[in-house]
Amino acid sequence: MHALNKKDELTLVLGGTGKTGKRVAERLKATGRLVRIGSRSATPSFDWNNDKSWEACLDGVTSAYITYAPDLAMPGATDAIQSFVDLAKRRGVKRLVLLSGRGEEEAQACERIVQDAGLEWTIVRASWFNQNFSEGAFVDMVLNGSITLPAGDQVEPFVDVDDIADVAVAAFIEDRHIGEVYEVTGPRLMTIADLAADLSRATRRDIAFIDVPHEAFITEVENSGAPKDVVWILDYLFSTVLDGRNAHLTDGVQRALGRPPKDFADYARDVAATGAWKTVA
C-alpha cells in the first residue's frame, strides 16, 4: 500500500521501551520503516507529564502508536490523550494506532477521542497481558513460587503481547485496518489457578495461586515501595475490571491477522525455555 513512500514515513512509538512498544518498534524497523522511540530515556525525550516534550517528538512524524502509562484508566489520561491527538493532527500526523483496555470506561473515552480526530485510526483493545508474569508486576511472584493476588476464581482471557504487537504493526502497514476496533484476547478463559498450573508445568516447579483479600494485597504493594500510580492501577484493576465484565473471548487477533491467538501454555513454555524464570538454587 505504502511501498513507494515508506522510507519517508516516520512512526512515533510511545512507550517504545515497554512491553508492546518495544515489539512494535522492532517489527516496524524490520520492515524498513523509520521509527522514533517515545520514552523519557530517548532523545528527544517523551514524557506524558510534560506536554512541552511532545512537540520535538512529533517533528516529521506521519503515524503514531499511542500507549499511556500506566493505564488509560488513570485520572487525567483523557485530557492528555486529547491534547496529544490535537497536537499530532496539527503537526501533520496521518494515522494513529491506540492501545486500549477492555472494560474500562475511561479507556473507551480515549478511544472516542482518537476516533473523532479526523485521522486514520485503529484501536487495539487488549485483555490482561501474559507478559505481566515475565516482564511486569507479577514476575517476582512466579520466581517465588506463589502468585498471591486477590483474584478468586474469576476468569480472564490473557493475551500475548506479541499478538498485540503484530496487530498494531499490521495497522500501520496495511490500509484495510483503518477504522477497525480489534478487541484482542487469548484463546482461553483462565483463572489465576489455571495460569499457575501452566506455569508449574512450564517451569517444572510448583507455583501456587494464593487468593488474598484485596485490601491486604494493596497494602503489600504499597509496602513494597511501588510508585503511587502503580498502586492505584492495581487497586483499580482488581477491584473493578476483574469483576467478570471481560469474561468472554473475542476474535480480534483472528480478524486482524488471519490466525488464532497464542495460548498461555505456549507462552509459558517459550518463556521458560529462555531461562527467564530460573531461580538461584
Burial of 85 (0-12, 13-18, 19+ CB in 10 A): buried
pLDDT of residue 279: 82
Residues contacting residue 112 through CB under 8 Å, at least 6 positions apart: none
DSSP letters of the chain? --TTTGGG-EEEEETTTSHHHHHHHHHHHHTT-EEEEESTTSSS---TT-GGGHHHHTTT-SEEEE--SS-TTSTTHHHHHHHHHHHHHHTT--EEEEEEETT-HHHHHHHHHHHTSSSEEEEEEE--BGGGGTTSTTHHHHHHTEEEES-TT--B--B-HHHHHHHHHHHHH-GGGTTEEEEE--SS-B-HHHHHHHHHHHHTS--EEEE--HHHHHHHHHHTT--HHHHHHHHHIIIIISSSTT-S---HHHHHHSSPPPPHHHHHHHHHHHTTT----
pLDDT of residue 238: 93
- pLDDT tens digits for range 151-199: 999 999 999 999 999 999 999 999 999 999 999 999 999 999 999 999 9
- pLDDT tens digits for range 74-122: 999 999 999 999 999 999 999 999 999 999 999 999 999 999 999 999 9
Mean pLDDT, all residues of the chain: 95
Cell of 88: 499530532
pLDDT of residue 58: 98
Burial of 201 (0-12, 13-18, 19+ CB in 10 A): middle
pLDDT of residue 70: 86
Residue ranges and CATH numbers for the domains of the chain are: 8-127+159-184+248-261 (3.40.50.720)
pLDDT of residue 215: 96
Cell of 44: 528527544
pLDDT of residue 127: 95
Q: Would you say residue 1 has pLDDT above 50?
A: no
* 6 confidence band (pLDDT: 50, 70, 90): low
Give me the percent of the chain exceeding a pLDDT of 90: 92
Q: Which of 275, 263, 105, 268 is nearest to 198 (CA)?
A: 268
Higher local confidence (pLDDT), 137 or 247: 247
Contact 211, 196 (CB under 8 A): no
pTM, to two decimals = 0.95
